[in-house]
Structure formats: C-alpha cells, structure tokens
A and B are shown apart, each in its own frame.
Chain A
Amino acid sequence: MMEPGLYHILFISAGLFFIGVYGFLTRRNLITMLMSIELILNSVNLNFIAFNKYLWPGKLDGLFFTIFIIAIAAAEAAVAIAIIINLYRTHRSIDVEDAEQLKY
C-alpha cells in the first residue's frame, strides 16, 4: 500500500478546481453555481494544507490561510444567498437564464 504524497493531493485539488470551474460555467441554477464556487475554494484549502504539510512544515501560514478562507467563504455564501432570495422574489425563479433584463 503506497503512502499518499504531495502529488496525489495536488492532483485531487486541481481536479476539484476544474470541476468547480466547469460547473460554474455550465450550470444554470444559481445555488449550484454557488456550490461550484465552494468547490473551487475547497480545492484551494486542500492546496494550502498539502503545501504546508509536505513542503513548508515549519511555518503555519498555510493553515491560517485555510481558516480564513473557510470564514470568508461562509460570509460570501451568506450574502450570495440573500441576493438569490431577493432575485427569487423579483423573478420567481433562480435560473440564470431567466435573469435576462440587462443585455448588450
């Protein structure tokens, strides 16, 4: 049984990042788009933790960064969901295709 190393974790986090980007660009439901952004942020968290553990174990910069990213992601999601609720009140839908007043 092989020990998982830095490359395995980086592979997973890069995969998560691009799944997030793909989801953000293709999904049409606002909540799902928000979830894709959370995937991106979590891939970044994995990156920081892995770099901190394997490459720079002496310093705690990466761990602290991760803690702050989690906190900010919660704040961002709170504001985004408040905006989405208001969008639902005005448009009766949370599909981005229905928010089409502003164009060109």
Chain B
Amino acid sequence: MNEFFSILKPELLITAIIFILLFVKITKTMKTSALLLLIQGLLLLNFVGGFFFNTEGNLFGDMYFSNHLLMMQKSILNLAVFLISLLFANCLRHHEHLPEYFILMLSALLGMFFMISSQNMLMFYLSLELATIPVAAMANFDLEKKASSEAAMKMILSSAFSSGILLFGISMLYGATGTISFNEIPFALDGSVLNILILVFIFTAFAFKLSIVPFHLWTADVYEGAPMATSAFLSVVSKGSVAFIFITMLYKVFQPMSETWYNMLIILSIATMVIGNLFAMRQQNIKRFLAFSSIAQVGFIMVAISSGSAKGISSVVYFVLIYVFSNLAAFGVASVIATQSGKERIDAYKGLYKTNPFLSWVLALALFSLAGIPPTAGFFGKLFLISAGAFKANYGYIAFVALNMIVSLYYYLVIVRAMFMDRNEQPIEKIHLHPANKIGLIICAGGIVCIGLISWIFDHIQSLVG
C-alpha cells in the first residue's frame, strides 16, 4: 500500500491540488490575488515534492509504469507549470474564473503524467484525451473574444479528428497482434504491409499533437487566438510530454520497425524545419512567430529521436528542460507587453530597450537560447540533439540540419535588432512588473544562463536513461 502511494505520488499530488482548488471555488472565500498566491505556493510545493520518496514500479496490472527517468520528466513538466503560474500572473490576476483555469490546466497535466507513464494502449488513449480536451477549454477562456472561440474550435476539432485516426490505428494494431500492452506488441509485429499502415496511422496522430509539418496547420491559429498562458502551456508542456511518449512509442512499441520510422522521421523533420523556418520569417504577430518557431524546434527534436539510441532520449529530455526556460521566457515577456499595452505586433517592439531594459534583456536571452547561440543553454541543447542525430552517420542530413539552424538565426535576431537598434518615436512606455512576473522572468533567465554551464545536469539525465 505504501508503495502504491510513492509510485503514484506525482499524480496524487496534482489530484490533491485540483481538489483544493475546487473546494476554494465552491466556498468562494478568497480574493483572486490571494488565490493566485495560494496556487503558486501549491505548485512550488508540488515541484519540490517531486524530488522525494521516488520509487520505481508497475501499477494497475502493468498498465502504469514509473521509473526515475519518468520522475525527472514529470518534474520538468511540474516546473513548467509553476513557471506559467508566475509568468502570467499579471494577466491571470484579475480573471474572475481563475480557479477553473488552473483546474483545467492541472487536469491536462494529470493526463500528461499518466500518458508518459502508460504501458498500455488503453491507458495511453484515455490519458491522451485527458491531456487534450481541457486544453481546448483553456483556449476558449477569453469568452468574449472572437479569436479565442475560433482558436478553441480549431483545437477541439483537429484534436478529435487526430484521436480518431489514432484509434483506427490502434484498432488495426489490436487486430494484427491481439494485444494492447506495450510490452507484448513488439514481439507480435512482423513488418508486413498492415504493420506499416498501422505505424502510419499512429505516427499521423502524434504528428498532429506535435505539429509536425503536414499536420501543423492548427498550431499558429490556436496560439494566436488562445490566451497567452494557454499558448505557452501548449507549446511547452503539451509538446514536451507528447515528445516523451513519442519516444517510448517508437523506441519500445515499434522497435522492430525502426528502419521504417527512421525514414519517416528524416523526411518529416526536414519538412518541419524548412516550413517552420520559412513561415516564421514572414510573421508580424509575436504569437504566430513563436508558434512557427516552436514548429521548427520540433523538427530539431525529431533529429535526435531519429537516432534510436539512449543518447537520443537523454538529449531530448535535456532539450525540453532548456526549452521550458527559453520559450516560457519569450512567452512571458510577450504576455506582459500584450497585457499592459495591448500590442502583439513585432513592429511595436522597436525601441523597447530604451524604456524597458530588463524585459528586452530577458527576451534577447530567450531568443538567443532558442536560436542556439553559444553561452546560452540553447546551444548545448541543440549540440546534444544534433550529435545524437549524427549517431547514424548520415552526415549530409546533419549538415542540412545545421544549415537550418543558421537560417533560424535570422528571424530570431530580427526581433533583437528591433528591440535594441531600431528607432521608434513612440516606443512602449515603461511597464510596471508584478513581483511574481519579475521572479518568474529572473528564474527563466537564470536557467537559460546556468543550465548549459552546469554539466552534471546532462550527465545526471544520461545516467537515468542508462
């Protein structure tokens, strides 16, 4: 019994927080600003609690599985949600439905935890739905805005359609193998045409969730229309967790077909990087820009996944950790500016350094890290991703990936130039930061600077992968 609690600890903690928030909502005893403080405190406790009393083991008749690597991945996701509660304090503080927003967000997080721990197609499907349906409701949270409801509509329809495709793939997999357990499927796969069709169906569903290129069309619209905190949650937490389970699915379940999915990954990652980069260049809205930049980043993650080795797993986990800090910092600054001045266009960022030096420096650091410029952590993340990809000795492909990194420098630096160099008669006036925002931005900036230089973090992740 004791073991049950320690294995299932991350999920139980999240559930407890959800119930506390429900109770607070029903009794209506707290003001919103105090409530936000309570939520931040609970999420911090939850993040810290993730490091104690961790046990490995199986639960629910081998449907659920946990080890130290998964605990690490869950801690990364916990950290991201905690940072979201800090960074978006200024726009969430006055929202009358604040507890509901966090209940939805934590339900989605709970689904993601079960998803990355699942050992069974049924568990995987249920938790995937738990991880996506609340996010669609979160996208609709600016109830009066036209763009918000349109974004939510696109999100729910495309995710329902993609889960339909996933289910058709799983049903054929069940027909072909007679089992839905991750441990038994690989022994029953034989590489026949039916198995390739199954792989294509399941891969397509993952591509929808990860916004890999032919299936990326919902991404930019949803990011633009949804509230900023939802976009940040989608681009960091949702994407990170789907990348983790994608690795399990390919490395473990479809291990006998590694040749097939290797070729699929290569072709789609090239398309993802090229289209993501090209479309990011022509964006005028900062949210759409960040959406396409996150599509391009997924292309780089796929490079590491294609290696099919332990190095691939550790470099993806490390990259997601860095991506949490850099992308959340970028979204955080954009959200502060959008809430205070209502401006989302990149032109409005001209001359930001004159009036808001702190925000400009944080955004510049985040963009440097996303682009992969050396002293920041993003460089090390990209370095490990690409060196994991080079495992298969296809150097032409790796050279193409590196070229794409150079192309991506252009559009990240355009924003930095706009902030620091371009003149503007009416720059955004001085913005007063809420203390929570300031703490969040400082944590993000510290993470971007330090994580790459503290080498034992990567060693630790590598030792967990084994």
- Complex Cα–Cα for A56 and B121 (A): 16
Asked whether, in the complex, the Cβ of A87 is within 8 Å of the Cβ of B161, the reply is no
Asked whether, in the complex, the Cβ of A80 is within 8 Å of the Cβ of B129, the reply is no
Q: List the B side residues contacting A89 at CB < 8 Å.
A: 149
Neighbour of A79 across the interface among B137, B174, B180, CB < 8 A? B137
B244-259 residues at the A interface, CB under 8 angstroms: none
Task: Name the prevailing secondary structure of the A interface residues.
Answer: helix
Asked whether, in the complex, the Cβ of B129 is within 8 Å of the Cβ of A17, the reply is no
For A55, A89, A91, A101, the residue with the greatest tally of chain B CB atoms inside 10 Å of its CB is A101
- Complex Cα–Cα for A59 and B178 (A): 9
CB-based nearest B residue for A65: B122
Asked whether, in the complex, the Cβ of B167 is within 8 Å of the Cβ of A41, the reply is yes
- Complex Cα–Cα for A2 and B310 (A): 54
Asked whether, in the complex, the Cβ of A99 is within 8 Å of the Cβ of B168, the reply is no
Q: List the B side residues contacting A82 at CB < 8 Å.
A: 137
Number of interface residues of A (CB under 8 A): 42
CB-based nearest A residue for B121: A65
Asked whether, in the complex, the Cβ of B171 is within 8 Å of the Cβ of A47, the reply is yes
B160-178 residues at the A interface, CB under 8 angstroms: 160-161, 163-165, 167-168, 170-172, 174-175, 178
- Complex Cα–Cα for A40 and B165 (A): 8
- Complex Cα–Cα for A69 and B125 (A): 9
Q: Judge whether B13 is part of the interface by a CB distance below 8 angstroms.
A: no
- Complex Cα–Cα for A69 and B126 (A): 8
Give B125 Cβ to nearest chain A Cβ, in Å: 7
Asked whether, in the complex, the Cβ of A83 is within 8 Å of the Cβ of B136, the reply is yes
B207-238 residues at the A interface, CB under 8 angstroms: 220-221, 224-225
Neighbour of B178 across the interface among A24, A33, A55, CB < 8 A? A55
Interface string of B121-161 (1 = CB under 8 A from A): 11001100100010011001001111101111110110011
Q: Judge whether B183 is part of the interface by a CB distance below 8 angstroms.
A: no
Give A50 Cβ to nearest chain B Cβ, in Å: 8
Q: Judge whether B309 is part of the interface by a CB distance below 8 angstroms.
A: no
Q: Given contacts A47-B175, A48-B171, A102-B221, is CB(A37)–CB(B180) below 8 Å?
A: no
Asked whether, in the complex, the Cβ of B126 is within 8 Å of the Cβ of A72, the reply is yes
CB-based nearest B residue for A78: B133
Q: List the B side residues contacting A34 at CB < 8 Å.
A: 157, 160
Q: List the B side residues contacting A86 at CB < 8 Å.
A: 140, 143, 149, 152
Q: Given contacts A33-B157, A80-B156, A84-B153, is CB(A20)–CB(B144) below 8 Å?
A: no
Q: Judge whether A68 is part of the interface by a CB distance below 8 angstroms.
A: yes
Q: Judge whether B179 is part of the interface by a CB distance below 8 angstroms.
A: yes
A21-63 residues at the B interface, CB under 8 angstroms: 24, 30, 33-34, 37, 40-41, 43-44, 47-48, 51-52, 55-56, 59, 61-62
B contact set with A: CB distance below 8 Å:
121-122, 125-126, 129, 133, 136-137, 140, 143-147, 149-154, 156-157, 160-161, 163-165, 167-168, 170-172, 174-175, 178-180, 220-221, 224-225
A contact set with B: CB distance below 8 Å:
17, 20, 24, 30, 33-34, 37, 40-41, 43-44, 47-48, 51-52, 55-56, 59, 61-62, 64-65, 68-69, 72, 75-76, 79-80, 82-84, 86-87, 89-91, 96, 99, 101-103
